[in-house]
Chain A
């Protein structure tokens, strides 16, 4: 296991690259999903459908 992560001594370079890829490719969709939810809620409030309805 440790041998796998050391990648023949190049672990630092390999994992820094893969970690950045993973980080960005997870953050972007999560952020976009949140943004969309907020927008839908905003539009619903604007159209007045939720006024007086369930909270």
Chain B
């Protein structure tokens, strides 16, 4: 392997890459979102199985719920890499991911609530998937709160990383809880419908995938925007930051 990956594990060499990639990710997100919204409203049927037009919330709800779980897993992976290799960039990555993860988790809950009101007749239910999605939101917020509460950044990194790691158990619960073996049992009752991706119409699936890609591109853009600020803030005494500031001002 000719590429030295460790070169990019230092903020000094990673910063320019992050900085330059942001407009591309944001541009891709906007184009995909416009395409996705067009597909969602103009190419899809008005009725989905037993659901009427309100099912269109699916196009922002399901991708948001996926993003919330993916971003949490990615955050936990960076936290683990940070704990194992003690690389400062990994912790910065985890810290940069948390607020965007919280945003998508909130969005999944918010849109789910409007969908729930129309299809189940209730804004909220203590269904396992909903409950653990709410816990996921608290974990993201808890990560941020813990990180800001500890003054020493190195200690804050490690403590918050540990919290991120412990919270990973939520993700498989959110994912699998709807496939409860006996929905009528009181011990394990899931109101949330199971995934019908395999039987769904192709226009609906395409719209959902385009929206998911838009969310991914957005996440890269937003997380990188936060990451570049974190890198500058945390490394402000170092030569590369001084050099860079000197170059742009």
Q: CB < 8 Å: which of A4, A8, A13, A40 contacts B114? A: A13
A20→B26 CA distance, assembly (Å): 19
Q: Is there contact, CB below 8 Å, between A36 and B229?
A: yes
A16 neighbours in B (Cβ, 8 Å): 114
B60 touches A29 (CB 8 A): no
Chain A residues near B41 (CB, 8 Å)? 4
- Across the interface, A21 reaches (CB within 8 A) one of B52, B53, B107, B118, namely B107
Q: Complex Cα distance A14/B111, Å? A: 8
A49 near B245: Cβ-Cβ < 8 Å:
yes
List residues of chain A with CB within 8 A of the CB of B64. Answer: 21
Secondary structure call for the A interface = helix
Query: Could you say which residues of chain A place their CB within 8 Å of the CB of B245?
Result: 40, 43-44, 47, 49
A2 at the B interface (CB under 8 A)? no
Query: Which of B22-52 touch A at CB < 8 Å?
Result: 26, 41, 46, 52
Q: Contacts A35-B229, A39-B232, A44-B245 given: A28-B100 contact, CB under 8 Å?
A: yes
8-22 of chain A: CB within 8 A of chain B: 8-10, 13-14, 16-18, 20-21
A43 CA to B229 CA, complexed, in Å: 11
CB of A8 within 8 A of CB of B46, answer yes
A interface size (C-beta, 8 A):
28
Give 1 or 0 for each of B208-219: 1 = CB within 8 Å of chain A CB: 000000000010
How far is it, in angstroms, between the C-alpha of A27 and the C-alpha of B241 when the chains are bound? 27
B118 touches which one: A13, A24, A25 (CB < 8 A)? A13
Instruction: Specify which chain B residues have a CB less than 8 angstroms from the CB of A28 in the assembled complex.
Output: 99-100, 103, 222
Q: In whole Å, how far is B133's beta carbon from the nearest beta carbon of chain A?
A: 15
Other-chain residue from A10, A21, A24, A44 in contact with B249 (beta carbon distance below 8 A):
A44
Decide yes or no whether A32 CB sits under 8 A from chain B: yes
A24 and B53 within 8 A (CB): no
Assess whether B111 is in contact with A17, with CB atoms less than 8 Å apart: yes
Question: Is B186 among interface residues, defined by CB-CB distance under 8 A?
Answer: no
* Contact B60 A17, beta carbon cutoff 8 Å: yes
* B226, CB-defined interface residue at 8 Å: yes
Contact between A13 and B249, CB atoms less than 8 A apart: no
Q: How far is the CA of A44 from the CA of B161 in the complex (A)?
A: 31
Q: Does A46 contact B (CB under 8 A)?
A: yes
Chain B residues closer than 8 Å to A49, beta-carbon distance: 245-246, 249
Flag if B248 contacts A32 (CB, 8 Å).
no
- Contact assessment for B249 and A14 in the assembled complex, using a CB-CB cutoff below 8 Å: no
Q: Is B56 an interface position by the 8 A CB rule?
A: yes
Q: From known contacts A10-B53, A39-B232, A43-B245, infer whether A25 and B218 are also in contact, taking CB-CB under 8 Å.
A: yes
Q: Are B118 and A8 in contact (CB under 8 A)?
A: no
> Which are the 10 A-B pairs with shortest beta-carbon distances?
A10-B54, A32-B225, A8-B53, A17-B111, A44-B249, A13-B114, A7-B53, A21-B60, A17-B114, A17-B57
